[in-house]
Each structure stands twice: as C-alpha cells, then as structure tokens.
Structure 1
Amino acid sequence: MLKTALRNVLAHKARLLMTTLAVLLGVAFVSGTLVFTATLSEAFQRSSEKGLTHVDLAVQPDGDTDAAETGPGDADDLGQDLLDATAALPGVASATGEVSGFAALADKDGDLVGAGWDTRGANYYAGTEGTGTDARHPLTEGRAPQAAGEIALDSATAERTGYRIGDTARVSVDGPVREETVTGIFTTEDGAVAAGGSLVLFDTATAQELFTAPGEYSRITLQAADGATQQDLKDAVAPLLPEDAEAITGQQLAADQAEEIEQQTSGMRTALLAFAGISLFVGVFIIANTFTMLVAQRTRELALLRAVGASRRQVTRSVLIEALVVGTVAGVTGFAAGIGIAAGLRSLMDAFDVTVPEGPLIVDGTAVLASLIVGIVVTVLAAYLPARRAAKIPPVAAMSSIHAAPTARRMVVRTTIGAVVALGGGALVVAGIGSGDKGATMGLGAALLVIGVFILTPLLSRPVIAAAAPLLRLFGVSGKLARRNAVRNPRRTAATASALMIGLTLITGITVIADSMAKSIDKMATESLRSDYVVSMANFSPLSPEVEETLAARPEVTDITGLSMSPALIADESDERYLTGVNGAAIGELTNLDFEAGSFEGLDGENAVVDTDTAEDLGLGLGDTFPVRYEDGTDGSLTVSGLYEGNEMIRGVILDDAALDPHMERVTDFQVMLRTADGASEEARSALEAALGDNPAVLVQDKEDVSEDIAFMFTLLLNMLYALLGMAVIVAVLGVINTLAMSVFERRQEIGMLRAIGLERRGTKRMVRLESVVIALFGGVLGVGLGVFFGWAVGEMLRDYLTTYELVLPWGRMAVFLGLAALVGVLAALWPARRAARLNMLEAIKAE
C-alpha cells in the first residue's frame, strides 16, 4: 500500500501541484513571520545591550510608586546631591547623570528629521566640573556642547542631513524654534539611533532646563570598579535611594529591555500568524476538495484494491500517505520560501526608511519545526475525511465506475446541522453586541456562523447560481452548460466558493468597520469643535505655553485656549484621573459640547465642568463640591458648574487654567485651539506657521486636516490588512484553478462528445470560464453578505464607546470586491479552459 500511495502521488503530481502551492503559501507565511520577528527581536536586543555597555547599575524613578500615598506629582528626587553621593561610594568607577526627552531636528530643507519617539534629545555629561568626557558619546569631530545655543549630533544624523561643525541647525523641544550651533559629531551605540532615530546632545544645564528641572536628572548610571559586582553596587546604593526611586542592575536592565522588545514584536508576530492561519484555513478547503475529487476519480481503482483484499484501514492509510508526502514537500519548500519572505520584509522596511539594526537572519528551531508541523498536520487533517470516504467504497463498485451519490437523507441531515449552527452563530453574534466580554461571545458566534454557512453552501449554491441564469443565457449553449456544471456537484462548488468567501468576508467586514470609524471620528471632530485651527506637536508631545502666548498676540486670532493636562486624585479615589486646564473665557467659543446642566459660563476660580460619565462614576451633580489632590500634592476642592456629554476628543474634569497652572510641575499644553477673524484660510495658516518660526515639529491643522489625518490612518491600516488578506485570496484562486482543472479532467469524455457534436474550441473555453466566474461570484456574494453583517455587529458594539458611531456601507468598494471576485474567476479559468479546448476529441471519447 505504501508503494501504491507513492505511485499515486507521482501519477497525480500535476493535480496535486495546486494543493502543494496552497499549503506552501501558508507555511511560507508562518515561517517567514517567525524568522522575521526573531530577526527583529534579536537585532534590537543586541543593539540595546550595546547601549548598556557602560551601565552596571541604574538609579531611576520607581514606576510602582502609589500615587495615593505620595501625591500625583511628587517629583523624582534624582538631583546633584544623589549623583555626588553615589559617585563617592566604594566600588564605583564612574557615575553619570542622564537627562533625556523629545527634541525635533529640522534638516537643511526645513523638514523634520525622523518622527515620534526616535527623535530624541539628551545631555553630554562632562562630569561635575564640566571638564570630563562622556563615554556614552565619544566625539569624532569638534567638541562637546558647553553652553546654551550649542549642540552635538550623532554621526548617522549628521551624514543624512549634511550638517557640519559650525552649521546652524533648527531644533524644537516643546514648540518654539531654537537656533543651535553644531559644535560636535559623535558616535553612539544607542538602540534608537541604530534603528534610524536621531539624537541631539545639549550641555547638561541646558538639557535639564528643557527636559527635567535645574539640578535634576532623568536617570543616574554607575560603572563598577575592578573587583566590584553589580550586586555590590546595588547594595551600596540602597541606603541612599529616595522613596520614589529604585536601583536596577545592568543585567536586569538588559533583561527588561529584552522582555519589552519581545512584547513589542509579539503583537506583530501574533497578527501576522493570524493571517497565516487564515490562509491555511482557506487552504484546508482546497486540500479537502482535491483529495475528494481524486478519490471520486479513482473509485474503480480503490474498490478494486478492496476486492483483492485491501482493508478499509489500508485504503485510508494509502490516501493519508499521499497527503503526508504532499504536506512534507509543501512544508520544506514553504520554510525555504519563508526565509526569502523574511529577507524581503527586512529590505522592504529599509525601502520605507524604517531602519533595523544590523544583524543576521535568525533561523531557529521553532521556525523549522513549525513549518513542518503546520505543513504536514494541516494537509493530513484536511485529507482525513476524503480518506475515510475512500475506505467506505464497497468492492462491488469495482464492477462499475459509479459510486453511490449522497442520499437525500444525508443532504437533509447536513442542511439541518448547518441551519442550527448558522442560526446559533448568528444569535451569538447579536448577543455579543451588549455582552461586555470584549468580543469573546461575538467571536465565537462569528466562527460558528461561518462554519454553518459553509455547511449550507451546497443548498445555497442552487438558488444563488440560478439567479445568474438570465445572464448566462446571453452566452448561448456555453452559458447553459456552465450553469449546469456549476450546480452538478453542489459540494464541490460549495467547497471551492467557500475558500473565496472567507477572504471576502474578512475584507468586507474590515472595510465596513474602518469606513464607519473614520466617518464617526470625522463627525465627532467637526461637530464638537468650533475652532478654526488645532495646534499640536507632530509627535503629540507637550507644547510650551509660549506657543499659546505667541499665537494670542496675532491680530487675526479672536479666541484661543491651550489645553493642559495634570494628574490628580479626585473625590478620595485611589486611582489617578486627569484634570484639563483651559481658558475659561474662550473655551465656550471654541467647542460645541452638549450640556445636560450648566455651561461654560461660570468656568472660573474653583469651578469645574464634568462629563456625565465621570460625574456618574463619582456620584456628582450640578453644584456639588468634591475634594481634589493636585499634581504638587496640595489638597483643594472644586465645585461642579456644568455637566456635559463627553466624547473621545473632550472629556473629564475641565477647569480654568488659572486654577490649575499653579499646581503643575511644568506648565505645558497638549494642544492649542483657536479661531481667527476671517475663518480658516491658507493665508491665516501661513501667518500662524510663520509666527511659530515655520517649525516642522508643530502642526497647524484645520478641521479638514484633522479629517484627512483620520482618513489617512484608516486607509493605511486598511491597505496593510488588504495586503495580508491578499494571501488568503491567492490561496482561494489556487483552489478555483485546482477544482476546474480536475473537473475538466474527469469530464474529458463529456467535453470530447460536446466537441464532436459541434461545440467549438471557443465555446468550450467560454463554458469553463463562465463556470469559474459563477463559482467565484457565488463565493463573493456570500463573503460580502457575511462581511456586512459582521461589520454591522462590531459597529453596534463600538457604539457604546464611540457616541458618534454611524454605520457606513461602502457600496462602491463592495461592487469592486464582487468585480474582483469575477476577475478571479476569469483568471483562474485561463489554464483549465485552454486545457479543455485542446483535448483530442477521439481520445477523450474513448477514455475510461
């Protein structure tokens, strides 16, 4: 039986090719994901470890400090006294005070260099006397910055921007533009710089003024002297630690960074593996369909084996051996293709200026084992039911080439089971809308509904395909034959269409959700804001109050407010909430919020307006007074002067900034809203940008810009998801090709007869193509329908969190999806149609 199975694989290698390709693509996605994420993780980890070369112990703020005990804003006491004390400890070779924060650098064309967290500023620590060197940042040219107005740049940033010693560079930390002279260029092993970021160094006093406070450090690092261990340093430093600080060894820092990197890449890995799983799930239909058709075509052969003594177990085993061979070949080749995919993804990141630290591709045992297991297990499991069906062929079937077709009773049982599963799944999806279990019920219901629809597809295929009959009649005999061929074997048609259905279900559902979310957030932005412009940092870091002051002085600005945020303990709660400070006299003119009671009119002094959800949580009503502990630890009280309907843009406790600012450690705004006399215009925007020094780190956006940003984010996300789901669609296309090719093979006698009685080659090709288009459109209709249903359900669940949510059905895109399904049918039929048209009539007629 082993020899028989291997000979069958070789005899049907052309028919098994598409199955192998389907599994290969899924396995390649899995192995490529594992290799790519392992490579990223290893590269960033090595880069981070290099950055800790000079760190044996780090003293830094304790992130676990209880705010209820210390006050929300108790400052971390990492001052000069602590630095001097730790430097004097036995076993300490050197101590370094580190200061860091966001610093945007403009290139010579005025464009921002880098973006977000990787655009950083820090201090060049030259020792207590200011005459030493910083081992973290060895200089290659020039000298270290020594006073305000001087900076040093990392060598990679200097190279890509073209800055040289003596050049003037424009830098922005919190809004205002600073003109700085480049005095030095240095090298660094900082992991963020190795990943494509930029680093600007200031002298320590300037860095403290910009990022912390005079005499305060973000972190203190120690290097051990010869003979001292990291634990020795930790024990020696322990008595000196402030209450809200902790000491961490260099080894622990490296371990923590490795864990953080692992967590960052695990989300990417999980997402990519999910799409790989979808591709493999689609591939299951192809594998099952392929082996079902192979078994049907070899009915006489298998029955003859039974007649000469082969047992059911042996027949089952022979089919599973064929699947094992196919799965092994697909697993090995898919693994090799996955390595190529990982290398390609890394190159793609470089092409999009997403720099990854240097390092080799990491191909570990996990990727190898996963590829083989996935390829073999998926293929064997998918072939199990066809194998069992093959074993049940009675020996008497050897006398005839016709095996018993599914009985009416079996179809009734299948339809009943499918209806129960589908209705149960649909009910769970609807129940999941208000269940509050973060989508678990809805996810289970969605899976059951898809399975139920799959079980019902043989029943659904006849009426749906029958609806296309009027169009098919336009193609004459070829159209009629195509319709009959499509419904001749409902199970085969259902399995083929289901593969495409799954891909289009996901694509349609995601499109509905994304378009609805974009519309809803756009609606919220435009309806809740009356301001003409919103000003913020490009990476949404805090703005200096100087920005509001500068813009307020412009003659065209009529109303303006900065929005500041400060942590606080409210109404004796143990968890922090944020207070929002605004210009109480202007906020009413710049927002359009619905008030349940009160208004912005009385927002001054110790009054505050509170959104209704927060008020309900705290048990507050109009006129109530509640205690508050501010950021600086002082206690006070506020009186509710208004209750408003909050949204994702504006919510929480709002008070006048004159009451909040005195309690903030650093007074900053997260954005500034303003109105101009003549409304939004290019002239007004240009004037505002010029007033801020044409700063590339600051965004001046009107409502249309905000909407475009929202649309861009969702479009970018959609395109990424389309690209990933495209893998599942490609696998589905292979399934259609495979089904048609094997269908042509088993109908070659019939096609020969049609050709003999006058059907031209062109008509034969048209018949196969139309059959393919009908099957593809059948899957497309089911996929779009399910996708709309799932999109609606998820949207209803989101409505509790997004008050402006509005269902948007992208009719144009859905039409495009159906058009693409038809195109898939046309493309998939090219080879099978050509093969059918080129059959030799006489050989086909006499074929058994």
Structure 2
Amino acid sequence: MAVLTLALKTLRHRKAAFAGAFVTLLCAAALVTACGMLLETGLRGRVAPERYAGAPVLVAGDQYVHRTIHKSSGKTKHKAKPIAERAWIPASLTQRLRRTPGVREVVAEVTFPVGTKNGQAQGHGWDSAALTPFTLAVGRAPKAADEVVVDAGSGARVGTRFDVLTPVGPAAYRVAGVTRQALPSQDTLFFAPAEARRLAGRPGRVSAIGVFPTPGGRPDVAAALRGTGALQYTGDDRGAVEFLDAEQARVKLVSLGGALGGTSLLVAILVVAGTFALSIQQRQREIALLRAVAATPKQMRRLLGGEALVTAVVAGLAGSAAGIGLGFWLRSRFVALGAVPEHLRLVVSPFPAFAALLATVLAAWVAARISSRRAARVRPVEALGEAALPTARLPWPRLVAGLLATAAGVVLTLVLSTLSTEAASSPVTMLTALVWTVAVSLLGPLLARAAVALLALPLRASRVGGYLAAANLRVASRRLASVITPLCLLVAMACTILFVQTTMGHAAQREIAAGSRADYVLGPRVPGSAARSLREQPGVEAVTEVLHTSVRVGLTKYGAQAVTVEGLTRTTDLGVVAGSLRDLGTHSMAVSENAAGRLGVSVGDTVRLTLGDGTPATLNVAALYTRGLGYGDLTLSHALVAPHVDNPMGTLYVAAPRLTRAELSALVRAVPSATVMDRAEAVTASAPDAEVNYVAMGLIIAFTAIAVINTLGMSTSDRSRELALLRLVGTTRRQVLRVLRLEAFAALAVATVLGTGIALVTLTAFATGMTGSPTPYIPPLTYLGVLAPTAALALAATALPARLALRRHPAEVIGARQ
C-alpha cells in the first residue's frame, strides 16, 4: 500500500512525463475494444427476419459444407464452412410437411433477383405473400403471366407499365396491385406463381418453405425433414436464411476482427514497451537517487509497476469507453463500403471493453517490469554515474532477445515466401513485419550508433548546428533508438499494408491485361438472352458469358469463374500450359497452376467439389493455366454453374472489332444494366477493392502515428534543461531549433531506411508466395505519400515542444529542474 501511495504521488508530480504513456494506452484500449466488438458481432451477431417474419417455422437448405475429421488419437472433429450461394430444397417437401401432425398450413416460395429503375429487388410468387405477410392496399393479385404486384415503396400505380430485368431477360409487366407493406431493406415484387417459377429457373425446387402450426400445435418438423438435407429455422435464425450476405459478413468480421485485434495488441505491446522504456530512461537520475537512499531493487520494481498499473487502469477505462464509439464508426464505414449489410447490427456487450482493459493493464505492467529490470538492479553508485552519462553498452539479455527476434523474422520470412493463399499469408505478413520491427527495437542502440557514425560526416559539414547534432546523437544513442522505433514501425506498417494490396492488384491486372482478347466488356448484370441475341448480330465474332462464384474442395474455398466455351479463345487467353479448354464441359474444369499445386492434381485427374449452392460435383481436370490471379483458381462451364448461383446474370466478353462502342451499346439498349467498356477500361475496372482493408488497418497506422508524436514529444520535452544550457552558453534560439531539426531528420532517415527495409523484405516474401515473382509493386507517389506525413509528424512533434521550452528563460528552467 505504501508503494502504491508513493506511485500516486509520483504520478501527480510528473503528469507530463506520464502523458505520453497514458495517451498510448488509451488508444490501445480503444482499438482493442473496437476490434473486439467486430469479432463479437461476427460470432454472436443476429439479423431479425423481414421477409420471413410471418412464418413461425422456416424450412430451408443447409448453408454449410460439413466434414468430419478423424484424428490419429481416435477422436473425431466436426467442421463446417459456409457456401457462397443459396441452397435450394426439393418442392416435394411441401407435401411431406403438410402431412406432419400439428401443421395447419405450408407455404413454399422461390426467390430470384430482379432489376428495376430503383435498383435491385427480390422477386417472388404471390402465393408466398403470406410469409411476411403482405396484403393488398389496392388492386388484385397477379393472375396472368404479364402481371405483377409491387410493394408500397415502389411508387407505381395500378394499371401502369413496369419494366424489369429478370434472369431470363428484360420484360414489361402491368401493375395489377400494390401492397400495403414495404420491407425496410429490400424492394419486393410479386409475380403470378407459374411465372415466378419460370423466372427463378429452378424447376422442382424452392428457396424456402414456411410452416404454420395449428393453434397450440407443436409439429415435429425436424423428424419430417430427417434424411432430406433441409433444416428448420426459428427466431432470428430465419433472418440468417433470408439475408445470406449477413451470414457471409459475419464470417468476414470474425477473421477481420481477430486479425485486426491481434495485430493491434502486438503493436500496442511494442509501442507501450517503448514508451515506458523512454519514460524510465528519462528518470534515471530520480531512480539513482532513490537507490542511493537505500531503495531496494524489489521496491523500485514495485514502484514502477504500480505507476504503470495506475496509468493503465485509468487509460484503459477511458479507452474502452472511447472504443465503443470507435466500433460504431467502424461498422458505419463497413456498411458504407458494402462489406457489412445495414441489417447486421453491432453487438454491444461488456466483454470487449473488459478484455481491452485487461490487455492494456497486462501490457503496461509487463512493459514496465521489463523496462525497469536493469534500472532497478543497478547499484547506487553506478546508477548515479549512468544518470550523469548513460552507458553505451547494450545489456546481454536485450542483445540475446534481439538476435532471437531476428532469427524469428528470418523464419517467418521464409515461411511467408511459401504461402500462396491470401487467407494464410495475410496474418503471417503482418506478423513478419512486426517481428522484424521488434528486432530493430531490441537492437536499436547498436543500429543507432552505426547510423550516427555514418551520418556524422554530413552533419558536421553543417557548421554549428550539424556539429552539435552529431555530438548529441553520438552521446545519446539510446534516446535516438527510442525515437527510431515508433518511426520505423510507422513506415514499415504503412508500407506493408498499402503495398500488399497494390502488389496483388497489379499482379491480377497484369494477368487480365495479358489474357484479355475481347474488344468490349458488358456488365455487370447481363442476362443470357442478351448474349444469345448478340451472337446473331453482324460484326460480332464471339460472346463469352462469365459468372463469378466460389466453390469448396473439401472445406477449402476457391474462387471460380464460369464461362461459355464457344469462342472463348477469341475473347480470353488463360495461358493454358496443359490440356485444352475445348474439353471444358459440365463434367470437367480447368485449374490454375497454383490451385493445381495445392490440390495435387494434373490433367486427367478427378476433383470432388461443392458448388456455390451446396450441390456436390465430380469433375475431370481438362486443362491447366497460368493466369489464376486474374481469372480465378478454377474455370468451370457456364452451363454447369448458372443453375447453382443466386444471380445468373453476369458479364459478357465481346469480340467485335468492326463495331464501335456506340453501335454495340445500341444492340443492348434493352438491357439497362449493360455498361459497355473497352478493353483498357475493363482492365482498369478489374482492380480489387481494398478500401475495407485500408479502413481497418489504417487505424493501426493512426495508432502508430500517435505513438510517434508521443515519443518525440516526450523526448524533446525532457531536454528542456539541455536546451537551456545551450542558450546560456550563447547558442541562439534559431541554432537550437536547427540542431533539433537536424536530429529529427537524422532519426527520420534511419527509421525510413529500416522501415522500408522491413517492408521490402516482407513484401518480397509475400510477392514470391502469392504471385510467383519476388518483385512487389510499389507506386512511387504512394511511397512518397507515406514518407511525407511521417516527416511532417516527426518535425512537428519535435518543434512544438522545443518552442514551448525555449519560451522560458534558461535560468528559470535550470532552477526548476534542480
């Protein structure tokens, strides 16, 4: 208790010294809380049903692929992974459910995408209106094939013409009725039941079945479904079936929140350790005096640990509260970018805040104990000597730890160069950069002394300011190392995050540019009828229909494209190295060399996979190709995939060298969603959207930038006595500021070289594994965009505290520090 009281008094009289540690811990707690909220939303988030709100029990397909893994120990483990498309079920289940005791009514429905002038809508048969339930406000139910009922939000009136784009092509319907209701997050159209089933294109299958029990009845729906592959859903589980994008977003949030939270915590530990190390380094005179008046090493460790705990608890509580707001902001950005649907609400509970507080306190305590270990053990006479002139010797435990971190960085770099999937390489990439930064941090004083030796000559050429800057850097290499670490981390993290995306995007675009043979690309949602019509037009040599989906081989997910084979070589060159695309059909597929290596297959081998809607398929490998980054790991037949995707309207690659863009646009004017692009525009538009990653990882960059400001501000503020002495011996304010600027430029130069080197090593390994080329793509302007703000932060964080210190009279400063 006495030590804690002393710690509180120390904090009260050294507010400025602990401000940097407080801000760092507060930001760390906020970041970890926000990441924890994303992770918890991915694990426990629920979506309330809208379309199926009126059905107490819903029967639908299983949206997961299941595998039972038998371990060598004799135990078995069940794993499940989500599929990409909606799993449809046999329509014959309606009769089985009707015969189930306790069931009053059974309502089956089909769901399919429809394009309208207001955007995307969902089409259904009027016989399934009771699932919401929808009722008519005006008009009547659709009876003829050319009639439609629209919802209350459409703005249409009974008797008017209503143009839509359906999976079978554009069509005009007459509005027969308008519903009294409209769903919050989806526009709804109702067609005549037979017409709806024709448009859905799934004969004999339905997307869901609503079950209505008799009053007081409890039908055993699960027993009726046994052996069919269909499942029953109640409560909010109905929303998961209705909004498949929400379920897919939950999976993304689990991986994103976990990766971002883990990276944030590692960065926080590194930054907090550096901040406490600098704080203790600045207090060596105070620690020396305490040791000289008989304070034991144990008491010193408890004192410093107590200060860290008090600071961490206060900062952790404030940061956890701020993190809740940050979590809501992150969700709003992800919703705006389309990564998270609006109806997936953020889960708010005390667990992320509590975990962030615990992690912050633990990180601060460990950082303080490690940083104070040597200061507490040094003997009193040595402590007073070191306070006057810090030693340049690096403690052997720190040297050993630095060498181990370097070895770990080498191992991770070698591992990263062998990873060829984004799911495996992404977390290892960030970990590799962090481990290399830890090695730089531990070996910082040695690297700083070597850097000062190299910078001494150019600095001394700058007369008085350069001479003083060189002398200061040579004497205070440990202080320079403390400043270099956050700057190095900022450059390394920013370059790694940015250029991982540019490397992948550039490699994919390069392959698409090399493989593109089409003169025009039409998309993004064009029905197959438009493709058939174009093939018959004069001047059109070939039309390739392309759909994008994902399949699973076992539990592993692979990106896939589905193409029509006729005329494929005229529009696309996949870089076939074995086999032939002419053999591509409903029982075969083409595989990229990368995927073939992971699957261990070659031409003629058989692969068992699960299509996007959960349908199993066994396909022969007809060809191997090289351009998997640009065109997907697997290439399947359009005829095979189209019946198993939610939206069969895709992209058209058109070979029509004799037609102008205007002429081609006129040929597809009946399809409002068909945007015509030339080859160059199509290649540019194929760049992957990495904004979600930039928003998420940008928080870590912002946190690191705050650490840079804290560290440089603490370092400069602690030198007020030194600056006052320089003023007393005749150095002008301009010369003092020039010395500090030169020191800041020197630290920035060293940190830039080290940070860029870490990023280059990491990116080279990443590019080797993911693209097959060891050369990452680093746009020069983007790189300068990283360095310029970093330099501005470094100079501002150095100049502002220095100007404040220089406003006071030198004698006043020296008297206050005695």
How would you bin the TM-score normalised by the shorter chain?
Answer: 0.7 to 0.9
Q: For 2:402, which of 404, 418, 440 is the aligned residue?
A: 418
Q: 1:390 to 1:223 in 2, by over 3 A?
A: same
Q: 1:486 to 1:181 in 2, by over 3 A?
A: farther
Matched, 1:47 2:48: yes
Q: 1:466 to 1:35 in 2, by over 3 A?
A: same
Q: 1:389 to 1:262 in 2, by over 3 A?
A: same
- Share of identical aligned residues, percent? 21
Q: How far apart in 2 are the matches of 1:269 and 1:416?
A: 33
Alpha carbons 1:176, 1:695 under 8 Å: kept: no
Q: Deviations over 1:631-680 (max 9, x none)?
A: 9x99999997x7765634277677897xx89999999675432211336x
Q: 1:716 to 1:628 in 2, by over 3 A?
A: closer
- 3-state DSSP class of the match of 1:95? strand
Correspondence for 1:830: 799
> Cα distance, 1:477 vs. partner?
2.1
Q: Deviations over 1:508-537 (max 9, x none)?
A: 123333222222111211211211123344
> Cα distance, 1:293 vs. partner?
2.8
Q: 1:285 to 1:55 in 2, by over 3 A?
A: same
Alpha carbons 1:579, 1:652 under 8 Å: kept: yes
Matching residue's letter, 1:122: H
Alpha carbons 2:49, 2:239 under 8 Å: kept: no
Q: Deviations over 1:532-559 (max 9, x none)?
A: 1233444xxxx64312112123333122
Q: For 1:552, which of 532, 535, 541 is the aligned residue?
A: 535
Matched, 1:775 2:755: no
Alpha carbons 2:109, 2:125 under 8 Å: kept: yes
Correspondence for 2:81: none
Q: For 2:724, which of 724, 743, 752 is the aligned residue?
A: 752
CA RMSD of aligned residues (A): 4.6
> Cα distance, 1:790 vs. partner?
0.4
- 3-state DSSP class of the match of 2:443? helix
Correspondence for 1:674: 654
Q: How far apart in 2 are the matches of 1:352 and 1:576?
A: 24
Q: How far apart in 2 are the matches of 1:167 and 1:297?
A: 87
Q: For 2:20, which of 18, 21, 25 is the aligned residue?
A: 18
Q: For 1:695, which of 655, 666, 672 is the aligned residue?
A: 672
Q: How far apart in 1 are the matches of 2:142 and 2:733?
A: 81
> Cα distance, 1:333 vs. partner?
1.1
Q: How far apart in 1 are the matches of 2:475 and 2:139?
A: 82
Matching residue's letter, 1:789: V
Correspondence for 1:499: 486
Q: For 1:277, which of 247, 261, 265 is the aligned residue?
A: 265
Q: How does 1:323-472 map to 2 (within 5 A)?
A: 323-345=308-330, 348=333, 363-396=348-381, 402=387, 405-406=390-391, 408=393, 410=394, 414-415=398-399, 418-419=402-403, 421-423=405-407, 425-430=409-414, 432-434=416-418, 438-439=424-425, 447-469=434-456, 472=459
Q: How does 1:162-173 map to 2 (within 5 A)?
A: 162-173=155-166
> Cα distance, 1:838 vs. partner?
1.6
Q: For 1:246, which of 202, 222, 230 is the aligned residue?
A: 230
Q: Deviations over 1:544-578 (max 9, x none)?
A: 431211212333312233358999999xxxx9999
Q: 1:735 to 1:688 in 2, by over 3 A?
A: farther
Q: How far apart in 2 are the matches of 1:625 and 1:6?
A: 72
Alpha carbons 1:29, 1:273 under 8 Å: kept: yes
Q: How far apart in 2 are the matches of 1:366 and 1:414?
A: 35
Correspondence for 2:697: 721
Q: 1:819 to 1:653 in 2, by over 3 A?
A: closer
- 3-state DSSP class of the match of 2:173? strand
Q: Deviations over 1:397-448 (max 9, x none)?
A: 687784674364x467755653464255325413542378945887776554
Q: How far apart in 2 are the matches of 1:605 and 1:267?
A: 35
Q: 1:9 to 1:711 in 2, by over 3 A?
A: same
Q: 1:475 to 1:48 in 2, by over 3 A?
A: farther
Correspondence for 1:733: 709
Q: How far apart in 2 are the matches of 1:145 and 1:340?
A: 48
- 3-state DSSP class of the match of 1:170? strand
- 3-state DSSP class of the match of 1:758? coil
Q: Deviations over 1:238-277 (max 9, x none)?
A: 4xx7x64424252594597698775453234224423532
> Cα distance, 1:695 vs. partner?
1.7
Q: How far apart in 2 are the matches of 1:653 and 1:467?
A: 55
Matching residue's letter, 1:764: V
Alpha carbons 1:171, 1:178 under 8 Å: kept: yes
Q: 1:30 to 1:663 in 2, by over 3 A?
A: closer
Q: Deviations over 1:677-727 (max 9, x none)?
A: 336x5424533442xx2422x444433233222336246644653354222
Alpha carbons 1:564, 1:670 under 8 Å: kept: yes
Matching residue's letter, 1:176: G
Q: 1:134 to 1:700 in 2, by over 3 A?
A: same
Q: How far apart in 2 are the matches of 1:754 and 1:792?
A: 46
Q: For 1:318, which of 303, 311, 314 is the aligned residue?
A: 303
Q: 1:60 to 1:808 in 2, by over 3 A?
A: closer
Correspondence for 2:193: 204
TM-score by length of 1: 0.79
Q: 1:106 to 1:712 in 2, by over 3 A?
A: farther
Unaligned runs of 5+ in 2: 68-86
Which shows bigger deviation, 203-212 or 555-564?
Answer: 555-564
Q: For 1:793, which of 746, 756, 765 is the aligned residue?
A: 765
Q: Deviations over 1:181-239 (max 9, x none)?
A: 445454779xxx64x44333333222211114456422222111122225x3433x34x
Alpha carbons 1:101, 1:211 under 8 Å: kept: yes
Correspondence for 2:33: 31
Q: Deviations over 1:604-650 (max 9, x none)?
A: 999989568599979876xx89999999x99999997x776563427
> Cα distance, 1:762 vs. partner?
2.6
Matched, 1:588 2:569: yes
Correspondence for 1:174: 167
Q: For 2:545, which of 562, 565, 576 is the aligned residue?
A: 562
Q: How far apart in 2 are the matches of 1:25 and 1:819?
A: 23
> Cα distance, 1:281 vs. partner?
3.0
Which shows bigger deviation, 352-361 or 174-183?
Answer: 352-361
Q: How does 1:118-267 map to 2 (within 5 A)?
A: 119-125=121-127, 135-140=132-137, 142-155=139-152, 157-158=153-154, 162-174=155-167, 176-186=169-179, 194=184, 196-213=185-202, 216-230=205-219, 232-235=220-223, 237-238=224-225, 244-250=228-234, 253=237, 262-267=250-255
- 3-state DSSP class of the match of 2:538? coil
Correspondence for 2:291: 303
- 3-state DSSP class of the match of 1:434? coil
Matching residue's letter, 1:510: I
Correspondence for 1:70: none
Alpha carbons 1:98, 1:123 under 8 Å: kept: yes
Alpha carbons 2:273, 2:364 under 8 Å: kept: no
Q: How far apart in 1 are the matches of 2:239 and 2:376?
A: 55
Q: 1:61 to 1:278 in 2, by over 3 A?
A: closer
Q: How far apart in 2 are the matches of 1:400 and 1:838?
A: 31
Aligned length: 780
Q: 1:503 to 1:577 in 2, by over 3 A?
A: closer
Q: How far apart in 2 are the matches of 1:567 and 1:386?
A: 50
Alpha carbons 1:578, 1:653 under 8 Å: kept: yes
Unaligned runs of 5+ in 1: 67-74, 108-112, 127-131
Q: For 1:486, which of 473, 477, 492 is the aligned residue?
A: 473
Q: How far apart in 2 are the matches of 1:50 and 1:176?
A: 25
Alpha carbons 1:152, 1:185 under 8 Å: kept: yes
Give the greater-gyration-radius structure (CA): 1
Matching residue's letter, 1:274: G
Correspondence for 1:106: 117
> Cα distance, 1:461 vs. partner?
1.6
